[in-house]
């Protein structure tokens, strides 16, 4: 194992970690405000991939379509929250999570019905092109996805810090009861949060669409476990934690791929999950949610 291989694994892991971070910060946002784990989260990523492909086949650049796709998925997510999850708000937590599982199943089925069960690829003209950085070849597609993920995360960060809605989200994460007493409409906020969170997952999907094959269970197969580990590592509900956790898990998986072979990268995530539960049960941020 040469030094170069390690550098390559770390760099590729970092690029992948940027996308993980984007997926995980939507998940953690939803958890923070609504206190439920969205088991359908990865399906919104897959949906984003398919929508990017659809846009591409219509002649638009998938990157230009990112904003409309974000908007469409966010509205859809908000609608789903209103229709399926809000009515269960008084029910036990397990019911709400099972509803998101039902949602996940429905989405997989719908995507299979529309786009078929087989792998599909979005091939840009420059999909295969790459540049060399310190002796490591990195494709432009991956670099763009990382840079955009970083930019989107920064925008989301700004949104949380400086807009009224963002501040309301942070307030509701810290203490839903007090937030309600301060006049924040938590019901409406839940809806917005679910929309924004799932929209972010879809954005991540758009960004990785040129780099991966899409199939209906792609999200569940490759993204849900890292996303879980990331939100736990970064303290559930903590936005910055999800971003940092994303990069850590990306690099860890990259290195793990070297050791165990690429097929067992997920094993690394699970081992990290165990380590976090045993030694860092409150995550890197010691239970703080903002």
- Residue 284 interacts with another protein (CB under 8 A): yes or no: no
Residue with Cβ nearer another protein (2 or 90): 90
- Residue 101 interacts with another protein (CB under 8 A): yes or no: yes
- Residue 107 interacts with another protein (CB under 8 A): yes or no: yes
Q: How many CB atoms lie within 10 A of CB 263?
A: 8
Binder among 61, 161, 277, 286 for another protein (CB under 8 A)? 277
Binder among 87, 126, 129, 151 for another protein (CB under 8 A)? 87
Token pair listed for 289: 């949610």
Residue with Cβ nearer another protein (8 or 96): 96
- Residue 37 interacts with another protein (CB under 8 A): yes or no: yes
Cβ at position 114, least distance to another protein in Å: 9
- Residue 175 interacts with another protein (CB under 8 A): yes or no: no
- Residue 133 interacts with another protein (CB under 8 A): yes or no: no
- d(CA 186, CA 177) in angstroms, rounded, equals 9
Cβ at position 61, least distance to another protein in Å: 29
- Residue 88 interacts with another protein (CB under 8 A): yes or no: yes
Token pair listed for 96: 């709400």
- Residue 258 interacts with another protein (CB under 8 A): yes or no: no
- Residue 109 interacts with another protein (CB under 8 A): yes or no: yes
Q: What are the φ and ψ backbone dihedral angles of 40, each rounded to 5 degrees? A: -95, 5
Q: What are the φ and ψ backbone dihedral angles of 136, each rounded to 5 degrees? A: -115, 135
- Residue 259 interacts with another protein (CB under 8 A): yes or no: no
Residue with Cβ nearer another protein (101 or 124): 101
Binder among 108, 196, 204, 240 for another protein (CB under 8 A)? 108
Residues of span 187-226 touching another protein by CB under 8 A: 220-221, 224-225
Binder among 103, 168, 209, 252 for another protein (CB under 8 A)? 103
Cβ at position 54, least distance to another protein in Å: 17
Q: What are the φ and ψ backbone dihedral angles of 140, each rounded to 5 degrees? A: -60, -35
Q: Which residue has the tokens 């359908």?
A: 40
Beta strand segments in 57-154, E = 130-133, 136-139
- HSE (CB half, 13 Å, CA atoms) of 260? 15
- d(CA 45, CA 202) in angstroms, rounded, equals 4
The helix (run of H) or strand (run of E) holding residue 184 is none
SS3 of the chain: helix, strand, coil, percent, to 5: 75, 5, 20
Provide the binding-site residues for another protein, judged by CB under 8 A. Answer: 31, 36-37, 39, 84, 87-88, 91-95, 97-99, 101-110, 112-113, 117, 220-221, 224-225, 228-229, 232, 236, 261, 263-264, 266-267, 269-270, 273-274, 277-278, 281-282
């Amino acid at each position: 194992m040469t030094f170069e291989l390690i550098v390559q694994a770390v760099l590729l892991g970092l690029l992948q970690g940027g996308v993980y971070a984007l997926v995980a910060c939507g998940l953690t946002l939803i958890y923070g405000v609504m206190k439920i784990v969205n088991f359908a989260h990865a399906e919104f990523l897959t949906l984003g991939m398919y929508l990017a492909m659809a846009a591409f086949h219509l002649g638009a650049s998938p990157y230009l379509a990112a904003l409309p796709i974000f908007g469409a998925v966010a509205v859809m997510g908000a609608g789903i929250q209103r229709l399926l999850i809000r009515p269960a708000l008084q029910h036990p937590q397990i019911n709400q999570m099972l509803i998101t599982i039902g949602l996940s199943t429905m989405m997989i089925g719908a995507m299979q019905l529309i786009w078929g069960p087989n792998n599909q690829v979005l091939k840009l003209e420059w999909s295969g092109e790459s540049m060399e950085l310190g002796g490591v070849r990195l494709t432009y597609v991956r670099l763009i996805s990382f840079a955009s993920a970083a930019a989107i995360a920064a925008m989301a960060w700004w949104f949380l810090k400086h807009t009224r809605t963002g501040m309301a989200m942070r307030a509701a994460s810290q203490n839903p009861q007090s937030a309600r007493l301060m006049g924040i409409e938590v019901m409406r906020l839940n809806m917005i949060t679910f929309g924004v969170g799932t929209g972010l997952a879809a954005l991540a999907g758009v960004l990785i669409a040129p780099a991966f094959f899409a199939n209906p269970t792609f999200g569940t197969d490759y993204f849900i476990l890292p996303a879980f580990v990331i939100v736990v590592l970064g303290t559930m509900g903590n936005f910055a934690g999800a971003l940092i956790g994303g990069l850590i898990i990306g690099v860890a998986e990259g290195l793990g791929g070297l050791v165990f072979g690429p097929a067992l990268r997920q094993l690394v995530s699970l081992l990290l999950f165990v380590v976090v539960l045993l030694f860092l049960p409150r995550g890197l941020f010691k239970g703080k949610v903002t």
